[in-house]
Amino acid sequence: MSGSPTSVDKLKVLSSIHKDWCRFRTSYSGLSLTKEEDILVALNGIAKAVAEVTNDTLVAGLWRGRLIEELCWKRHTNERVHSIDEPPKPSKWRAPTWSWASINRVIGGRTMWWEYDSWLDFIHEMAAIEDLTVDQKPSGQLVNASLTLTCRLIPTSPPDSGIWAWTPYKVTVTLDDCTITNAKDLGNEISLVVLRHFAYGKEGSLQGILVLPSRVKTGSYERLGYFEFFSYVEPLEEEKRIVQSVLDGYNIAQETTIELI
């Protein structure tokens, strides 16, 4: 940037860089690496270059300065790149469940990069990062990683069949493991965690994740999937009802602090 850029100018540039990163991540996550454990190692050089420009740090594949937003990644539902026979997860641990690097699938996600627009009515982060613990090698390979999140756990139930119509909220759900065909197999301790509430109109849109008590570490949680609901400037009554039902669930739930591994 030349001259004396304003804060809005800077935000536009950073948002543009992040948009390009997200596109890169989608392409990169569709590649077949010779060594699956090198997924974070192979992009370490590019990550350092981006970090130098943005003054940010990549942790477990996510940008620390945008961590709540970055947690809103989702598995791309178009599986043309990956063989259906390819395991959905690596054979050995390489990233925590809250990182896109924990699965062997193309990563999409509706990340907002227009937050500098004056016609965005509001944007609220509905959860907060309390602590982040990352142990990684100089190569970028992770040894261990976890984060502590202050949030509200909203109980939800899988549908009787399929994976879409979760009750009582009609948000769009994308499970991280694409091999799961019956969500009932996951049990009844699943919760929604609303991460972001934003809008171009009064009603707003929502992004968040699904979590489940960990089966490997008592007292901790693992990410199970992603959910979203997008309404527009003049949402329909049904859209208003869905957004409000999730927000009502959020307001009823007690604030708690959980460890995500």
pLDDT digits (tens, 9 = 90+) for 83-113: 556 788 999 999 999 999 999 999 986 555 4
Band of the pLDDT at 225, cuts 50, 70, 90? very high
Q: Is the distance from CB of 156 to CB of 191 less than 8 angstroms?
A: yes
Q: Which residue would you say has higher pLDDT here, 211 or 202? A: 211
Residue 93 has what pLDDT?
95
Q: Is the distance from CB of 158 to CB of 178 less than 8 angstroms?
A: no
pLDDT of 158 higher than 90: no
Residue 113 has what pLDDT?
47
Residue 164 has what pLDDT?
60
Average pLDDT over residues 179-203: 84
Cis bond before residue 168 (omega within 30° of 0): yes
pLDDT of 233 higher than 80: no
Cα 138 to Cα 47, 142, 143, 192, 254: the distances in Å are 13, 9, 11, 35, 40
Residue 237 has what pLDDT?
82
Q: What is the pTM of this model?
A: 0.89
Residue 41 has what pLDDT?
96
Average pLDDT over residues 37-57: 94
The first and second tokens of residue 33, run together, are 């690496």
Q: Which residue would you say has higher pLDDT here, 172 or 50? A: 50
Q: Which residue would you say has higher pLDDT here, 249 or 81? A: 249
Cα 38 to Cα 31, 42, 82, 146, 184: the distances in Å are 12, 6, 18, 19, 34
pLDDT tens column, 23-33: 999 999 988 88
Task: Tell me the average pLDDT of the chain.
Answer: 86
Average pLDDT over residues 175-191: 86
Q: Which residue would you say has higher pLDDT here, 5 or 89? A: 89
